[in-house]
Amino acid sequence: MPRAVFALLWETLTARRELFAYIQNLVADGPSYWVLAHVTPSYGADGSAVGYHSNRRRPSRRAVERVRTLYERLLAEERRHPSARAAVAASSELFQRLVAEQAASYEELVWSVIGEEED
């Protein structure tokens, strides 16, 4: 998974917003699987975040292929940098550019991919 995607996840949750994202999870014995995750903060009585809730569903093959292509570009960019901080900064910048090339916002891009699943 690209670090830029996790950076976006935590930035969004910290801003008290939900996020839909395609996530590649690793199984303990090595293989991986893809999910479409809907992640949202959970709040206590005082309004502070006390945890996070995630619903997941299996994405379509077409959605995974579209996302995989994007993620491979981000990972390649991350590998070009010597430190985690530099890798996140560079891949986050690339991520923003790639999103802008395809949609008006990240949300619009992810919903367009989700919409392809409905077709």
Write the CB contacts of 27 (distance below 8 Å, at least 6 apart in sequence): 33
Please give the pLDDT value at position 116. 76
CA distances in angstroms from 6 to 10, 22, 62, listed in the order given: 6, 11, 22
Task: Indicate whether 115 pLDDT > 90.
Answer: no
Query: What are the domain boundaries of the chain?
Result: 3-118
If we measure between CA atoms, which residue out of 7, 1, 55 comes closest to residue 25?
1
Amino acid at 45: A
Please give the pLDDT value at position 118. 62
The CATH architecture annotation of domain 3-118 reads 2-Layer Sandwich (3.30)
Task: Write out pLDDT tens, residues 56-107.
Answer: 999 999 999 999 999 999 999 999 999 999 999 999 999 999 999 999 999 9
pTM of the model: 0.87
